Amino acid sequence: MEVIYCPGEHEDPRPGRGALPPRAWTDRTDAKQLRLNGDWRFRLSPTAAVPGGDDFAKAAFDDDSEQWSNLPVPSHWVLHGHGKPAYVNIPYPFPVDPPFVPTENPTGDYRYTFDLPKDWDLNSGKTILRFDGVDSWCKVWVNGTLLGTSSGSRVPVEFVASTALRAGANILAVRVHQWSAGSYLEDQDQWWMPGIFRDVTLLHRPDGSVGDHFVHVSYDHETGAGTLKVDATPSGRVVIPELGIDAPTGTLVSVPHVKPWTAETPRLYAGHLVTTGERVSLSVGFRTVAIEDGVITVNGKRILFRGVNRHEFHPDTGRAVTRETMLQDVLLMKRHNINAVRTSHYPPHPHFLDLCDEYGLWVIDENDYETHGFEQLNWQGNPSSTAVWKDALLDRVGRMVERDKNHPSVIIWSLGNEAGPGENIGHMADWIRRRDPSRLIHYEGDKTCKYVDMYSRMYVTHAEVDALGRRQEDPLDDPELDKKRRAMPFILCEYIHAMGNGPGGQAEYQRLFEKYPRCQGGFVWEWIDHCFKKTTADGREYWAYGGDFDEEIHDGNFIVDGLLFPDRTPSPGLIEYKKVIEPVAITYAGNGQVSIYNNRDFASLDDLIFTYKLERAGRGIAGGPLAVPAVGPRQTVTVPLPALSTTKDEQVWTITAVLAEDTKWGSAGHEVAWGQFAATEAPHRPLAPTLIAPVVDKAAGVVTVGPAEFSIASGQLIKLGQLPVHGLNLDIWRATTDNDRGQEYFEGTCWADVWKEANLDKVKHRVNRVAVDGNTFVVETRAAAGSYNRGLLTTYTWTAVEDNGVHLGVKAVPDGDWGDMVLPRLGVRVGLPTSLDQVSWYGYGPGEAYPDTRTGVKLGVYNLSVDDLQTPYVFPQENGSRIDVRWAELAGLSGGLRVEGAPLFSFAARRWTTEQLQAARHTTDLVPGNQVWLNIDYAVNGIGTASCGEGVLPEHQLRVAETEFSVILRPT
């Protein structure tokens, strides 16, 4: 047999060939660099066996034929018309047969012609070619000379290119396979998107230039002294003018007084490292990371992570993110009080870490490693426990640590995500411990904490966090490991799953983090929705998710779970998170005083100014600056509020802490924290009935109660003043949220299924009796869903009240067996003319809020259009409810409706029905109909975070029970 083709190299589980040893990454050097980003020539082939073999790499190859086109680098070719992106969460999208991959293996050939700058000296030193990210495997040639191969999509690789290069024009050729052995190590929950997606750079390395350098720092919080030692090859000098340092590399320099680096106070000292051949800029941050008494400390203090998991994502460019986008992420994080990032689940573009150093964010830098698809195979053959993968794993973790070791922001190395257990995990941990003992090691998949420095979990319930806080968790079988783990700090590397409406229950988690020193906070899953724009046949844009690209295997909208919408607009979940994690707690201290607690770990509140505002029934009546004395970290002061005048109305204080001056990340006046509390409670207003009896007109078949007109036959409200009204009925249904559809941590109740099975979306209203009883008009009904014998005996009692109003009392009494059913909502729904398109209300806002997502909203008077009341979740679902509303008015060109709570209600108004909302898959499926549907709710069920995590906490559940509520309706 003569073998003429044997698939190959890219299925080798070992690291690539020909690369230079990894080293610290920097682009701040006086050595020459040439970015090779731009329009490259590109050809896509369906398999790795490309006709013509490697011929395309030859300098003389003709890439002008029609198979070739232009493709920007960096980019993913699937976002430029060559194939499509594909989304899968856990399973591999190809047969699991490691290290082999399918023969159908999209393969991109790239060619780029560039001129070497005239002053580039090829005869001195070396010239290196660096790729910062190629997904997933590449082979590189310069002018037809092979430089090497690389696997590891999100870690850099450098090749020596000197001898292959020549003066003038040069041809760089790269072959990239979408699938490779490395794909088995890169099964993160994200889009599969191949290509050269990060920068390509040519680096001149003059003789005597820095090969590698390692900045070692420490900070002694007791003396305020720092130490600095920069190891470098070759040796040179370290110069930090501000600290008077000019010392040889490799020596430990003590600095008696230095300002430490923390995420709150990101003090960097600029300097440089000089060798005979190069001058590299340094940004030195002095800090010491440790575990003391079972908690993670930085500079001697326990820190609390208010974190997010950040994937690199942009809706136009995928994981090829620009420096502007990276900055935008950092600014958005800082402006929303976020202090920590886990770079899930791979090292980010290195520039992002420069920004974290500069702006101040704690970073868990995570290895580009996940093998989650092996879980469904009981982890059989999993690379973490298979020797053949050891070198590849050490290679990629090494490339991360070497690249990122000089960032003060990086305080924890993570070995990867969801890659099961195994000795290779231990090998990676051992290697890091030897190379960089100054940082801590994390890996959530190490359930026994054999190899790591902290106990990390995801999506743990509040109750379990509470137990963990008390170090009362269930024991491990091995008593030694149990003892070790029980003494460790605890973090939630993922929690509160930001999919769709929610996540609920944030504030309850934060209280646990603040209660138990061991619980050092968490990282929300996740920062941004990963969606791409698509357009309907009639030209309307929508956000596409898994399955929208004809993927055979996909996980639908599970990729739409960010605190930011795909265009980086903050979602209500982020507004809630900003408030829940705010660094100042402002609460009423009693006796006309406000208590101000500095919830920061290091910084005072000197950067903030405080103001107060007093509102009466929603109207501002007083306000001004509030003098607050200096408050150190974790200290409280109490400050008297101005004197109050007595009034019969509800009065509310709002105290706000804003930036006193412009900072790097926010302008003066930016709101950092606030507190709101009652100054005088809302008075109880007794009903003012008119004592006018309902007027019955049997001939016309109607009854009139004040401004309201009813049908005798149906008992239905038909008109309010001149306003036609459609079907005011009890409503217990909502378009299910992702969290309703979730199963409480995969084992509990999926309420959406229970509600569907119970036909709660198909409630019928049988009229039992329509009666006039003295001054009231009474309609007795039984609201019940098909197929079951349970229902709600519902009585609507209507009474005319002063000022042209009608009081509606609703009483709902459970009938039959409801078990322990939770209801989506309990209230009434009414259809109104579409002309009523403007809403104002006095209640909480301006955003939506549910019982367990209501921390971030403020009591006030708000105005929004019906359209702007909607939260445009990518996957349409229940949204837009406003909570604890005192009154709401819907107005339009011709008349309107005012609803007054007796005392409070929630409302939602939309131009489509709940049924249409339930049926929609994309926002463009929602088409306004001929009614505005108004839900006036006594209560709505909480939201929870069961799309991945815990469901609605009992105190936020709407259980079936006898209920009475009332509102007053007035035509306006």
Binding site for ligand GAL (CB under 6 A): 89, 189, 345, 417-418, 458, 494, 497, 525, 558, 561, 948
- Return the closest-CA partner of residue 827 out of 768, 953, 914, 749: 914
DSSP class of residue 571 equals P
Q: Output 309 or 870, the one with its CB closest to ligand GAL.
A: 309
Shortest separation between residue 313's beta carbon and ligand GAL, angstroms: 13
Q: Output 83 or 373, the one with its CB closest to ligand GAL.
A: 373
- Return the closest-CA partner of residue 853 out of 327, 426, 498: 498
Cβ atoms 589, 583 nearer than 8 A:
no
Q: Output 558 or 602, the one with its CB closest to ligand GAL.
A: 558
- Return the closest-CA partner of residue 588 out of 545, 525, 631, 638: 638
Q: Output 280 or 458, the one with its CB closest to ligand GAL.
A: 458
The whole-angstrom separation of Cα 448 and Cα 675 is 41
* Coil vs helix vs strand at 785: strand
Shortest separation between residue 444's beta carbon and ligand GAL, angstroms: 8
CA 216, 221, 223, 224 torsion: positive or negative?
Answer: positive
Q: Output 189 or 582, the one with its CB closest to ligand GAL.
A: 189
Q: Which helix (H) or strand (E) holds 575?
A: helix 572-580
Q: Which residue is at the shortest CB distance from ligand GAL?
A: 189
Is 378 buried (19+), middle (13-18) or exposed (0-12) by CB count in 10 A?
exposed
Shortest separation between residue 318's beta carbon and ligand GAL, angstroms: 16
Residue reference for tokens 């920062």: 527
Cβ atoms 654, 674 nearer than 8 A:
yes
CA-angle at 671, arms to 670 and 673, nearest 5°: 150
Is 173 buried (19+), middle (13-18) or exposed (0-12) by CB count in 10 A?
buried
Please state whether beta strands 362-366 and 410-414 pair in parallel, antiparallel, or not at all (unpaired). Answer: parallel
Q: Output 345 or 854, the one with its CB closest to ligand GAL.
A: 345
* Coil vs helix vs strand at 830: strand
DSSP class of residue 259 equals P
Residue reference for tokens 């039959």: 816
Q: Output 373 or 843, the one with its CB closest to ligand GAL.
A: 373
Neighbours of 210 (CB within 10 A): 26
CA-angle at 636, arms to 634 and 637, nearest 5°: 150
User: Facing residues of 904 across strands?
Assistant: none
Q: Which helix (H) or strand (E) holds 638?
A: strand 636-640
Shortest separation between residue 497's beta carbon and ligand GAL, angstroms: 6
Instruction: Give the catalytic positions in this structure.
Output: 418, 494
Instruction: Give 244's contacts (C-beta < 8 A, 6+ positions apart).
Output: none
| Rounded (10°) angle between helices 506-515 and 462-469 | 0
Neighbours of 241 (CB within 10 A): 11
Would you say how long the chain is, in residues? Answer: 972
Cβ atoms 601, 304 nearer than 8 A:
yes
Q: Output 126 or 442, the one with its CB closest to ligand GAL.
A: 442
Shortest separation between residue 530's beta carbon and ligand GAL, angstroms: 10
User: Facing residues of 163 across strands?
Assistant: none
The whole-angstrom separation of Cα 833 and Cα 42 is 56
Shortest separation between residue 157's beta carbon and ligand GAL, angstroms: 25
Shortest separation between residue 190's beta carbon and ligand GAL, angstroms: 8
Shortest separation between residue 499's beta carbon and ligand GAL, angstroms: 7
Shortest separation between residue 750's beta carbon and ligand GAL, angstroms: 16
Identity of the residue numbered 183: S
Shortest separation between residue 929's beta carbon and ligand GAL, angstroms: 34
Instruction: Give 686's contacts (C-beta < 8 A, 6+ positions apart).
Output: none
CA neighbours within 13 Å on the CB side: how many for 338?
27
Q: Output 556 or 727, the one with its CB closest to ligand GAL.
A: 556
Is 247 buried (19+), middle (13-18) or exposed (0-12) by CB count in 10 A?
middle
The whole-angstrom separation of Cα 589 and Cα 955 is 25
Shortest separation between residue 760's beta carbon and ligand GAL, angstroms: 27
Residue reference for tokens 């003396």: 223
Q: Output 419 or 672, the one with its CB closest to ligand GAL.
A: 419
Shortest separation between residue 557's beta carbon and ligand GAL, angstroms: 11
Tokens of 413: 């190395």
Q: Output 446 or 889, the one with its CB closest to ligand GAL.
A: 446
Cβ atoms 553, 88 nearer than 8 A:
yes
The whole-angstrom separation of Cα 813 and Cα 50 is 72
Tokens of 68: 């070739």
Q: Output 371 or 966, the one with its CB closest to ligand GAL.
A: 371
The whole-angstrom separation of Cα 186 and Cα 135 is 10
- Return the closest-CA partner of residue 256 out of 211, 279, 286, 282: 286
Cβ atoms 48, 177 nearer than 8 A:
yes
Q: Output 12 or 418, the one with its CB closest to ligand GAL.
A: 418
Shortest separation between residue 945's beta carbon and ligand GAL, angstroms: 11
Please state whether beta strands 305-309 and 519-525 pair in parallel, antiparallel, or not at all (unpaired). Answer: parallel
